Structure 1
């Protein structure tokens, strides 16, 4: 497909699942600052609130924010920090709904490295944390490219950008 046909610029994109992306699109991919909001899974109880969103940096469609803070919210759990390939990776803070929080290093979506875990009662554990057997969350995925022919709808499309390609 010709690059001229790929979306470029600031966009708000709605998907058939009701997920949305709002931010910069370059050569048909989320690239730069943006926000992706997932719709509730089909089996999610209708009487229970669902919230899953990522606000931060994208690199050619991948959730990657090395050196920049991004925010990920899943219902009442919150992660703020660096991402790589859709996973918490680098320095970050994770706050659980029950009031616990961890400040430190993450590797491939797991707590791993130097950090501090603080419990709701104020007790702390500080030091080097080894990865546990459970992932924090599976990698966060979004459609890698947006272009005509994909099952999506471009709702709003403004502020076209000129680009010389990836650098």
Structure 2
């Protein structure tokens, strides 16, 4: 009976993959949130045979918020470099994760509210909702929401990476 031969096999482990898995399992991505409040005009113009016969312009109030976050699950090993003992991580961009907008007619007089009951009022409210959502998202994109989400994510990951000893050959999780 022949004895089994032991084979000395070498294998490489990419410590960046370990770090990616640790981030995914141990680190919760922070969110950034911005609140908004603004006026939203809505208008319906009525035409008969191509001629304008009337229009209704109403101002609604909109209150809402948008939340953004960096998706830590989107971090890949190739977005991590280890140079001169430093871990350099390139973050994916922040994305919208949640938002809501409440459009109300609180600024309208009761008489105007009664006149707008029914189809015209519903149509105006829907137009205000669409316009308000577009305005809110535009303000979120033009503002600091994504910058704040990226900054908060960078801080959280910096704290985590500082607690982990990573080199090209080892990765110690504390």
Structure number having the greater helix percentage: 2
Is the shorter-chain TM-score for this pair beyond 0.5, marking a shared fold?
no
TM-score by structure 1 length?
0.27
Structure number having the greater strand percentage: 1
Looking at CA atoms only, which structure, 1 or 2, has the larger radius of gyration?
2
The answer to which structure, 1 or 2, has the higher relative contact order (CA under 8 A, 6+ apart) is 2
